[in-house]
Amino acid sequence: MRTHEGLFAGIFGRGGVDTGDEAWLQAMLDTEAALARALERAGLAELGAGAEVTAAARADAFDAAELGRQAALTGNPVPPLVRALTAAVPPSAVSAVHHGATSQDILDSAAMLVAKRALLVILADLADAAAAAAGLAAAHRDTIMIGRTLLQQAVPVTFGLVSAGWLTAIDEARQGLARIRDERMAVQFGGAAGTLAVLGDAGPEVAALLAAELGLAAAVLPWHTDRLRILDLASALAAAAAALGKIARDITLLAQSEVAEVREGRKGSGGSSAMTHKRNPVAAVAILGCTRRVPGLLATLAAAAEQEHQRAAGAWHAEWEPLADLLRLTGSASSWAAGLLAELVVDPRRMRANLDEAGGFPLAEHVSGLLAPHLGPVAAHDLVAAASAEAVASGTSLGDALKSGDAARDLTAAGISPDQVDAALDPAGYLGSAAAFTDAALAAHHEYQTRLKGTAAPPPR
């Protein structure tokens, strides 16, 4: 079954990442074929043997389900695959099949191929998500909204700054995954116990040739029980999933009916089977469904990294499915995120309305700062706190409470006019470095994109 098939695959297998049986089987066959070509190049197999094995190494020519059944007898699917591949090549090429390798060499190298191919897709989707986030940050650089801390209203921010935070996290995740793809995807080739003894002095040469054939890095030495490469990959995937999960969680909160500051724009989605009035944030929910599963997979891979001596008893086996699931889920979340951010509908008027409905309370800190030089910080704090309590009790705004009663007399005595109070309660005057931070995120994104493309272009605004 391919990754995108199945009852739940529309949620958890969205996009182009393929970690299904055929993908793994083809990666294993690619490794066997590359080994045959490497042996031929090293003079350890007959001329033409590499081409013969390569021609036979097609996943559609093998029965993955049968290989899986036979794997129960050998502990992994490589031995039955080797037998089947050997039977599929001419006698002149038989000696080039699997020569010098052990099962873990084939499966670990295949895992690297599956992962590297998946990363190409994930990185492309993350690039699209980053571009969409950059567009939101630029378009809403000065769109004012209420900031929220501990799920409570705080001070004003801009939606541009919120989007810039999403952008920076995605770009950092992209860079982490790209580093893993370029530096940590290495061939595995060590033979029975990591010595390649069967190849004599030719072991390092064949290992280097195999790496070149597969387009993987050449490891310093076999890493059968050194699983840091797997952990580095898993950690980078988990970081990407965490960045996407944060974005999705923000959007589910901002899309609540009572908030309604954003909504998903994908046509035909969001309907409820029971409540026809609802517009559910399906893409954000799907991302969270994917990313919530990632920490457990990462934990499993971290636990499996403790492996005995030269070959593990079970821990290596424990990696296969969690790694495939981690690639698939991160890939699905990335695909969902690219569409979600590209189609996100932002409502600046609702953002401003929600901010105005707060009655000026989010600007209490700004007002205290205005008063402090005249009254002292403690007295200023107490005056604003008393006015806030009065406003809450009477159902008025903070501005009205400050411009009436005892607060008004104290402010007049301090030489502070009602116009100054109104200015202090204007959220546009209390955004701090929001615009500068947004611009910095956009500039960093532009610089990263320029490095990737190798061409210069004007920065977005």
pLDDT over threshold 70, residue 268: no
Stronger pLDDT, 331 or 3, i.e. the higher one: 331
End-of-domain residue from the set 349, 377, 410: 349
Are 152 and 286 in a shared domain? yes
Measured distance CA(355)–CA(351) in Å, rounded: 6
Measured distance CA(353)–CA(298) in Å, rounded: 42
End-of-domain residue from the set 300, 319, 349: 349
Tokens representing residue 24 in the block: 């793994």
Residue-wise pLDDT for 86-102, tens only, equals 999 999 999 999 999 99
- pLDDT band (50, 70, 90) for residue 402: very high
Percent of the chain with pLDDT over 70: 95
- pLDDT band (50, 70, 90) for residue 1: very low
Are 225 and 309 in contact by the 8 Å Cβ rule? The answer is: yes
Stronger pLDDT, 330 or 279, i.e. the higher one: 330
The Cα-based distances of 282 to 23, 60, 92 in angstroms read 28, 36, 56
Are 366 and 341 in a shared domain? no
pLDDT over threshold 90, residue 271: no
Over residues 105-124, the mean pLDDT reads 98
Please check whether residue 438 lies inside any domain of the structure: no
Stronger pLDDT, 320 or 406, i.e. the higher one: 320
Matching residue, tokens 């959007």: 251
Q: Backbone dihedral region of 48: left (phi > 0), alpha (psi from -120 to 50 degrees) or beta?
A: left
> Among this protein's residues, is 229 annotated catalytic?
no
Are 374 and 299 in a shared domain? no
Please check whether residue 277 lies inside any domain of the structure: yes
**Element spanning 345, H or E:** strand 345-346
Please check whether residue 4 lies inside any domain of the structure: no
Helix (H/G/I), strand (E/B), else coil: 257: coil
Over residues 358-385, the mean pLDDT reads 93
Are 278 and 367 in a shared domain? no
Please check whether residue 20 lies inside any domain of the structure: yes
pLDDT over threshold 90, residue 204: yes
- Counting the structural domains of the chain, the total is 2
Residue-wise pLDDT for 292-316, tens only, equals 999 999 999 999 999 999 999 999 9
Domain that holds residue 407: 361-424
CATH of the domain at 258: 1.20.200.10
- pLDDT band (50, 70, 90) for residue 455: low
Please check whether residue 1 lies inside any domain of the structure: no
Are 337 and 367 in a shared domain? no
Tokens representing residue 314 in the block: 């079970």
- pLDDT band (50, 70, 90) for residue 454: confident
Measured distance CA(146)–CA(161) in Å, rounded: 12
Please check whether residue 436 lies inside any domain of the structure: no
Over residues 391-407, the mean pLDDT reads 93
Residue-wise pLDDT for 207-250, tens only, equals 999 999 999 999 999 999 999 999 999 999 999 999 999 999 99
Q: Which pLDDT score is estimated for 302?
A: 98
Are 131 and 201 in a shared domain? yes
Residue-wise pLDDT for 408-428, tens only, equals 998 998 899 999 999 999 999
Over residues 108-124, the mean pLDDT reads 98
Are 281 and 379 in a shared domain? no
Please check whether residue 434 lies inside any domain of the structure: no
pLDDT over threshold 70, residue 189: yes
- pLDDT band (50, 70, 90) for residue 266: confident
Q: For the chain, what is the radius of gyration of the CA atoms?
A: 30
Residue-wise pLDDT for 8-41, tens only, equals 999 999 999 999 999 999 999 999 999 999 999 9
Are 229 and 338 in a shared domain? yes
Please check whether residue 453 lies inside any domain of the structure: no
Catalytic site residue from 41, 148, 311, 350: 311
Are 80 and 133 in a shared domain? yes
pLDDT over threshold 70, residue 456: no
Percent of the chain with pLDDT over 90: 92
Over residues 331-348, the mean pLDDT reads 98
CATH of the domain at 403: 1.10.40.30
Are 205 and 83 in a shared domain? yes
The whole-chain average pLDDT of the chain stands at 94
End-of-domain residue from the set 321, 349, 377: 349
Catalytic site residue from 58, 179, 272, 417: 272
Are 306 and 409 in a shared domain? no
pLDDT over threshold 70, residue 275: no
> Among this protein's residues, is 404 annotated catalytic?
no
Measured distance CA(41)–CA(29) in Å, rounded: 18
* Helix boundaries (H) for 42-63: 49-56
- pLDDT band (50, 70, 90) for residue 272: very low
Are 344 and 404 in a shared domain? no
Q: Which pLDDT score is estimated for 31?
A: 98
Measured distance CA(453)–CA(457) in Å, rounded: 10
**DSSP 8-state assignment for residue 221:** S
- pLDDT band (50, 70, 90) for residue 270: low
